[in-house]
Amino acid sequence: MNQRNILIRKLTYVGGMIVMLVCITLVAQPSVHSDPDGKGGSKGGMLAVKREEMKLGQTSLGEIDPASETLKLVTLGLRGVAATFLWDEAIEAKKKQNWEAASAAAQQIIKIEPNFYAVWDFQAHNLSYNISVEFDDYRDRYWWVRKGIDFLILGTRYNDNEPRLTNTIGWYVCNKIGKSDEHVQFRKLFKKDDDFPRNRGIAPEDRDNWLAGFEYYKEAQNQVDRGAILRGKGESLFNSDPPMARINYAMAIEKDGVFGKKAQAAWESAKHEWELFGNRRIATSYGLHVSLGQKEELMREVKRLEAEIDKLVPGIRDELREKKKSDLSKDERTVLAIDVDKLDPEQKSQIADINRLIEPKNDEIVATIQDQAVRDKAVALAGRAVQAANIALVIDSPRGIINWDYWKARCDSEPLPETLEAREALYNADRALQSKANFPEAKKLYERGFEQWDQVLKKFPRIREDSPTADDLAEQIDRYRALLQNEYPKDYQRVFIDNRFVLQDVLELANNTNPDRARAKAASQDKPEPKNKADRKSTEKPTPPTAKTDGSSSEKPAEQPADKTPDASTSKPKEDKPKVDKPRDDKLTDGKLTDGKPGEKSSSKSPATSPGKSDSKLVTPGTDAPPEKQPTKQPEKSSDPPADKA
């Protein structure tokens, strides 16, 4: 090999090296951060730019833990294997009730997999749910719940862009502490928990898990707003978490007996949050971004556009409707002719279908227009109406998932003074009954509470139709009924047997939607009828504290007969059953509650014949029609008609 060849080869090498250096620089040059005043710095090579864009750099994921980085290096690329071994160890330790080892293994796993969401999620759930439940003392359970929450909080330090983690903290703080079997005890412990990060600087009496959870939910929302990607959870549910935390807070403090301005403010905050939620743009599965609170506006727009079409061709809509009506079958016309209040459920469903059938479509109206200019205008209007109606239809899906209408109605109704008063009255009634065995006071408060509730439910019929409120009220109605049965049998006869109880539909809804309740009720009805009063008292459930046993007869109404006849006392449950199950005519419930005076009820079972005097108004008037023929109460028309239509 001569010198020339050697030179060529060397030059080739140098050339190759230069080319490679350029390539490497372009591809892998590291980025340089600029000065605090923005000077200097460079974006780096292609890889650095991509890493920054896709947030793949360790610094963009969150805090860097030196111990974690060291362990990742030490495992020499086998951290997946190491994590698997540790995972197995954690599961084995949990299985063998070696809680410290399980917890230690979880801590080790996150050192080698600090940016893997599933690790944090699974192990935190293990600590807060699976391990905590293994303990018998609720304080130990709380300790482990908190351990899981702390674990998640640690996770957020290493994962800035993972809103699911922050949201999950909110879920644990809200639901594990606020809704588990031990929620009463957990909530108390939470108030005392000085170590919880969000409790610092807050007086114990102002601490609440729902408010702390709300903060985490909000933080998760903010992370998404800052550009973090939300994975694995629908936007509607994710964004409903903050207002739901506020709602649950308001409900929780009311359960704790806090009413008045504090409860009102809590509900106002919940309402405000719900409105913010309603205005928030969220992605739907249809690819559209919508605001859930926009639906009503859209339906008003549809109505307005239809009115404009009607203006272009006055009377056509009615004409078409009448024509369609005349095309109906005889049976359909018969159903249509029935008074709305006398429709049975099947007929109601049928009539809704008929109404949809006979309602003229906009394109049908447009088709009747002869004038081309008018027609073009009408086509444009109809197109806009269809577009608005379609968007409203898209909104319906996420709204259904989160039960929008119900919670919106709750947020609207709960801050009202009458609702607050109703809840306070029932809370105090329960206390008067269960803590003090003060029957007259409890009775009075129950009656006042139920009356108030009836007023509220009339204003907000949507709440009446859903089970959560019904479940709450049903328990209190049961207690009230038991109170009357045991202590005021005459009133019981009048309120529950002779008449339809004012919140009977709520009770029925609770029975229908809660199988356990229905079963318990059926079981209690299957029990043999006790032969005398003493027996009856011991078998009926629920029963109020038996203050009678200590001879507190002074708390009974003086008018009450000393010895109740067996008929009056034993026939009630049997009579109750058919009346509860039969539909009744609620036409008159639109009016005010009766004051229960005998003259206003023409039944021979009227309390007028009863020596027991009561000021109870908890009966629905006009109950002289035979129960078998009385249809169920027609739900009042929603205050949100466009929604029904959509």
Two tokens, residue 643: 């929604």
Helix/strand/coil for 620: strand
Contact 284, 249 (CB under 8 A): no
Between CA 160 and CA 156 the distance in angstroms is 6
Between CA 524 and CA 536 the distance in angstroms is 12
Rounded to the nearest whole angstrom, what is the least distance from the CB of residue 95 to other proteins in the complex?
A: 5
Rounded to the nearest whole angstrom, what is the least distance from the CB of residue 332 to other proteins in the complex?
A: 54
Rounded to the nearest whole angstrom, what is the least distance from the CB of residue 474 to other proteins in the complex?
A: 20
Rounded to the nearest whole angstrom, what is the least distance from the CB of residue 134 to other proteins in the complex?
A: 8
**Measured between alpha carbons, how far is residue 366 from residues 357, 363, 385 in Å?**
18, 5, 13
- 3-state DSSP: the chain helix, strand, coil percent, rounded to 5? 70, 0, 30
159: closest CA among 201, 124, 131?
124
Helix axes of 417-434 and 439-459: crossing angle, nearest 10 degrees = 150
Indicate the residue among 94 and 517 with the shorter CB distance to other proteins.
Answer: 94
How many helices (H) and strands (E) the chain has is answered by 32, 4
Rounded to the nearest whole angstrom, what is the least distance from the CB of residue 437 to other proteins in the complex?
A: 21
Rounded to the nearest whole angstrom, what is the least distance from the CB of residue 72 to other proteins in the complex?
A: 15
Residue 502 gets the label, from left (phi > 0), alpha (psi -120 to 50) or beta, of: alpha
Indicate the residue among 141 and 481 with the shorter CB distance to other proteins.
Answer: 141
Rounded to the nearest whole angstrom, what is the least distance from the CB of residue 587 to other proteins in the complex?
A: 44
**Alpha-carbon 116 to chain mean position:** 30
Two tokens, residue 153: 């909080």
Indicate the residue among 88 and 297 with the shorter CB distance to other proteins.
Answer: 88
Between CA 607 and CA 599 the distance in angstroms is 9
Indicate the residue among 47 and 101 with the shorter CB distance to other proteins.
Answer: 101
Rounded to the nearest whole angstrom, what is the least distance from the CB of residue 468 to other proteins in the complex?
A: 21
Contact 335, 354 (CB under 8 A): yes
Q: Which residues pair with 501 in a beta bridge?
A: 619
Between CA 15 and CA 316 the distance in angstroms is 86
Indicate the residue among 99 and 453 with the shorter CB distance to other proteins.
Answer: 99
Rounded to the nearest whole angstrom, what is the least distance from the CB of residue 167 to other proteins in the complex?
A: 25
Helix/strand/coil for 500: strand
Indicate the residue among 137 and 526 with the shorter CB distance to other proteins.
Answer: 137
Indicate the residue among 149 and 425 with the shorter CB distance to other proteins.
Answer: 149
Indicate the residue among 104 and 379 with the shorter CB distance to other proteins.
Answer: 104
Indicate the residue among 66 and 287 with the shorter CB distance to other proteins.
Answer: 66
Residues that bind other proteins (CB under 8 A): 67, 95-101, 103-104, 107, 134-138, 140, 143-144, 147, 181-182, 184-185, 194-195
